[in-house]
Amino acid sequence: MVTEALVLSAILFVIGTFGVLIRRNAIIMFLCIELQLNAVNLSFVAFSRMFGIEGQLFVFFVMTVAAAEAAVGLAIIISIFRHYETVNVDSFNLLKW
Amino acid sequence: MATPLLALAQGGGQAAAEAGHYEPFLPGLVVLLPLLGFIVNGILALQHGRASADAVRRGEELDLGDASSRPATHTLPTWIGPGVMAAAFLIAVVNFARMYGVYLEEPVIVRYWTWIASGTFTVEAALQLDQLSMIMMLIITGVGFLIHVFSVGYMKEDPGYPRYFAYLNLFVFFMLVLVMGSSYALMFVGWEGVGLCSYLLIGYWFSDREKSDAGKKAFIVNRIGDVGFLIAMFLLFREFGTVDFVPVFAEAETLAYAGGLVTAITLFFFVGAIGKSAQIPLFVWLPDAMAGPTPVSALIHAATMVTAGVYLVARSSALFALAPLSSAVVAGIGVLTALFAATIALKQDDIKKVLAYSTVSQLGYMFVGVGVGAYAAGVFHLMTHAFFKALLFLGSGAVIHAMHEAYHSTHSHEDAQDMRNMGGLKAFMPITWVTMWIATLAIAGIWPFAGFFSKDEIIWYTAAFGGAENAPYPALYTVYWIIALAAAMLTAFYMTRMMVMTFHGENRTGAEESKALHEAPPVMWIPLAVLAVLSIFGGWINVPEELQASWVGLFGVLPASEWLHHWLEPITAQAHHIQEVNLGELSHYSPFGGGEVLWATISTVAAGIVVLASIRFVGGQKVVPVAQDEKKPTGFAKVLANKYYVDEFYDRFVVQPIVGASRFCWKIIDARIIDGAVNLVGMLSKGVGWGVSMFQTGTINTYAFILTVGVLAILGVTLL
């Protein structure tokens, strides 16, 4: 049971990672990050079967932080969109050498 | 004045004197008084410098020619400078009187504080009072006082007058530290200090490039010798763990006779002496040192500082007696220098250059004396030389002073020191003439003047040492003896030549100029007269016993037979003991037979004949003033006039290579290699930074990609 959950978690995490690396749309990338976080959450829950309740506790922390992060992240993306009228991350490369 | 002095001289109570006890009288004050003079005169010099800078700014000019208009900074040093010297001399005399009659076997050491304390090594600030330091103290303060007085007349119109006296007082302070210090370390302090003052006074007129260069030359050449002194001191410390005189000499005989170590120590000390006392090959600075004021030449470069090397060897007599090879080197360098410098002096036209080479030559004699184990004879010649050479220099100072004023009166730019411009001066300055003749006869070795006794004794001991039972290199000492005699004849010739060119014959100064020629003022000729008296009678304190009964000792009339030998016996006893044990009795005959009286007679008669012959010879020569002198010397005379091209040789083979090597170090090693390496490191980090900054694309995906790769890499490394 745990093995299957961990495999699913890994698959979700890799999808999320590739999503962040490949996609250029800021909102999609953002969602992919959420996917990674939730993949981790799944692992936590799965492991809590073996090691105790602390894993489930941590999931709450992660969800709280993810919610706060989503709020700030979306606000930034909206702000950027108002300025550039696009959410394509290739357009935002002012902070370079 | 006399009565309290007498009371002080007997000091420490009658009982103390009877018990063979010597109570020092304020020895620290002898050293401190000149230092005090330096401080006060130095403050005045600073004041004067500020005042004259202000005057220049206001466009005024200080008139120093008129005595009434001289500022206080000019009148005070007149009293302070010679005043501290007089006081120091009086204290020295009191101490001498207290030591006189007491056979002091162990030196009295007056300790003040611990100067260096490092582990087992300590150096105390302490003065050593014994017979040798007492003689040196009397010469330095006594002759020094006379020269200070002379300077008052000689330098009175010089704008740097207070500075001059500050330097002169500082010199005397360091010289006294040199001879009175109780260890080689303190001696080295004085040794360096007098070198500094020599540099300051040679370059006294520093706005003249040539003169400041001469000061630098003296300083740098002396440094070469000082390295030897330092190494010798390190070796002593390694062997004995101390550099104090008393313990070092007490344990000296634990070193093997003629062993490598004692030979190395003494040779390194002698390297120091070569530098300070201007011997071959480091004599080149002394003739150039004549750029300083003439009284400075008299005090530092004739009477006192340059004899420090002789003092060093005499002080270390116990070590030098243990090293026959070093002693032979000392005497060999001495005798070569005596001859070499005497030949150069034959062809010099500058009156001070003649005296400078003469000084080098006479210092050579002193080294012969201390090199053949006649330490007292070396110190004896040091003393008489201080009298007659100081007199000769001060006399030449009086001549230059008069010549300078003569040319000044007509605004001529002729050379006031060139003897070709002099001639016939005896009519204008009779006192200078008479006193300088006395000194000339003394240095030429004419009986009964001081130089005869001291020089004759050195030459005699050279023969006697070579004739000792186990003399190390008997043939060598015969050669030394012959060279020393030959150089004595040369001395008689070049000194007579100098006197004849300066004082006799027609006056060549110029008709207009000669009206301004005049005798030196009393403040200048009185020191000359005092030194002349010392140059006549100074030698009588040390008439050898063998000679006293003969005509040389006026059939027993001359007093104090071998007084100086007996006086210095506690200092030289150890060396003489070592010498007697290892070499046996000295000979009483010269290499070619004949006793002491015969050779004393031969040498003084020969010197007398040379003097008379050269009066006729030089007097018969036609001398033309510098301005009309177009005849250049040729052949060997040219080589002599150019001082054997030693300066040129050093310039070509020492100075230029060093300058070249320095330029190479500067331009190539420093500017290219070292600076290049530093710049290269800078360029590299800049380039790497620029290259790495290319990763900063500003695109989030790149960062995310690099982050992922990094995490995977770290995981890979740690997990697999």
Average pLDDT over residues B4-11: 54
Q: Quote the distance between the C-alpha of residue B660 and its chain's center.
A: 31
Q: Do B699 and A90 touch (CB under 8 A)?
A: yes
Residues contacting B474, CB < 8 A, separation 6+: B466, B467
- What are the pLDDT digits (tens) for A35-55? 999 999 999 999 998 898 999
Q: Provide φ and ψ at B145, rounded to 5°.
A: -60, -45
Residues of chain B found within 8 Å of residue A21, distances taken between Cβ atoms = 701, 704-705, 708
Residue A43 lies in a domain: yes
**Is pLDDT of A76 > 50?**
yes
Q: How far apart are CA B137 and CA B153, in angstroms?
A: 25
**Is pLDDT of B11 > 60?**
no
Q: Is A93 on the interface with B (CB under 8 A)?
A: yes
Average pLDDT over residues B204-228: 93
Residues contacting B458, CB < 8 A, separation 6+: B365, B366, B368, B369, B372, B374, B377, B378, B381, B484
Q: How far apart are CA B128 and CA B107, in angstroms?
A: 6
pTM of the model: 0.83
**Is pLDDT of B190 > 60?**
yes
The DSSP secondary-structure symbol of B242 reads -
- Minimal CA–CA distance to A93: which of B697, B694, B690, B710? B697
Residue A64 lies in a domain: yes
Q: Show the tokens assigned to B707.
A: 């982050």
Residue A38 lies in a domain: yes
Mean of per-residue pLDDT scores for chain A: 91
Size of interface A-B (CB pairs under 8 A): 30
Q: Do B708 and A90 touch (CB under 8 A)?
A: no
- What are the pLDDT digits (tens) for B90-109? 999 999 999 988 888 889 99
Model confidence band, residue B352 (pLDDT cutoffs 50, 70, 90): very high
The DSSP secondary-structure symbol of B519 reads P
Alpha carbon separation from B325 to B262, B263, B265, B319, B330 (Å, rounded): 10, 7, 12, 12, 9
Q: Show the tokens assigned to B579.
A: 């010498």
Q: Do A93 and B698 touch (CB under 8 A)?
A: yes
Q: Is A89 on the interface with B (CB under 8 A)?
A: yes
- What are the pLDDT digits (tens) for B516-530? 888 889 999 999 999
Q: Quote the distance between the C-alpha of residue B221 and its chain's center.
A: 13
Residue A61 lies in a domain: yes
Please state at what angle helix B308-315 crosses helix B131-154, rounded to 10 degrees: 170
Furthest-apart CA pair in chain B: how many Å?
Answer: 121
Furthest-apart CA pair in chain A: how many Å?
Answer: 49
Residue A53 lies in a domain: yes
Q: How far apart are CA B460 and CA B330, in angstroms?
A: 17
**Is pLDDT of B247 > 90?**
yes
Question: What is the model's pLDDT at position B7?
Answer: 55
Q: How many domains does chain A have?
A: 1
The DSSP secondary-structure symbol of B405 reads H
Which residue in B696, B701, B705 is closest to A96 by CB distance? B696
Q: Show the tokens assigned to B374.
A: 């006649």
Q: Is A17 on the interface with B (CB under 8 A)?
A: yes
Question: What is the model's pLDDT at position B432?
Answer: 94
Model confidence band, residue B51 (pLDDT cutoffs 50, 70, 90): confident
Residues of chain A found within 8 Å of residue B701, distances taken between Cβ atoms = 20-22, 24, 89-90
Please state at what angle helix B260-276 crosses helix B308-315, rounded to 10 degrees: 160
What chain B residue is nearest to A14 in terms of C-alpha separation? B708
Average pLDDT over residues B212-221: 93
Q: How far apart are CA B245 and CA B181, in angstroms?
A: 9
Instruction: Give the domain CATH number at A8.
Output: 1.10.287.3510
Q: How far apart are CA B506 and CA B512, in angstroms?
A: 15
**Is pLDDT of B258 > 90?**
no
Q: How far apart are CA B659 and CA B93, in angstroms?
A: 50
- Minimal CA–CA distance to B204: which of B188, B192, B218, B221? B218
Q: Provide ipTM, 2 decimals.
A: 0.85
**Is pLDDT of B374 > 80?**
yes
Q: Do A21 and B693 touch (CB under 8 A)?
A: no
- What are the pLDDT digits (tens) for B264-296? 999 999 999 999 999 989 999 999 999 999 999
Distance from CA of B708 to the nearest CA of A (A): 8
Q: How far apart are CA B491 and CA B498, in angstroms?
A: 11
Q: Do A93 and B699 touch (CB under 8 A)?
A: yes
Residues of chain A found within 8 Å of residue B704, distances taken between Cβ atoms = 20-21
Residue A76 lies in a domain: yes
Residue A19 lies in a domain: yes
Domain that holds residue A66: 2-88
Model confidence band, residue B8 (pLDDT cutoffs 50, 70, 90): low
Residues of chain A found within 8 Å of residue B694, distances taken between Cβ atoms = 97
- What are the pLDDT digits (tens) for A16-28? 999 999 998 999 9
Model confidence band, residue B511 (pLDDT cutoffs 50, 70, 90): confident
Higher-scoring residue by pLDDT: B562, B673? B673
Q: Show the tokens assigned to B188.
A: 């080295």
**Is pLDDT of B358 > 50?**
yes
B47 membership: H or E segment, kind and range:
helix B27-57
Q: Show the tokens assigned to B325.
A: 């090879």
Question: What is the model's pLDDT at position B1?
Answer: 42
- In the three-class reduction of DSSP (H, G, I as helix; E, B as strand; rest coil), residue B111 is classed as strand
Q: Is A92 on the interface with B (CB under 8 A)?
A: yes
Mean of per-residue pLDDT scores for chain B: 89
Distance from CA of B659 to the nearest CA of A (A): 50
Model confidence band, residue B131 (pLDDT cutoffs 50, 70, 90): very high
DSSP codes, B165-196: HHHHHHHHHHHHHHHHBSBHHHHHHHHHHHHH
Residue A96 lies in a domain: no
Please check whether residue B543 is in contact with residue B553, taking contact to mean a CB–CB distance below 8 angstroms. yes
**Is pLDDT of B707 > 80?**
yes
User: Which of B692, B693, B696, B700 has the highest number of chain A CBs within 10 A, making it the mutation to test binding with A?
Assistant: B700
**Is pLDDT of B13 > 50?**
no
Average pLDDT over residues B534-542: 90
- What are the pLDDT digits (tens) for B572-596? 999 999 988 888 888 777 777 777 8
Please state at what angle helix B522-537 crosses helix B375-409, rounded to 10 degrees: 150
State the SS3 of B446-475: CCCCHHHHHHHHHHHHHHHHHCCCCCCCHH
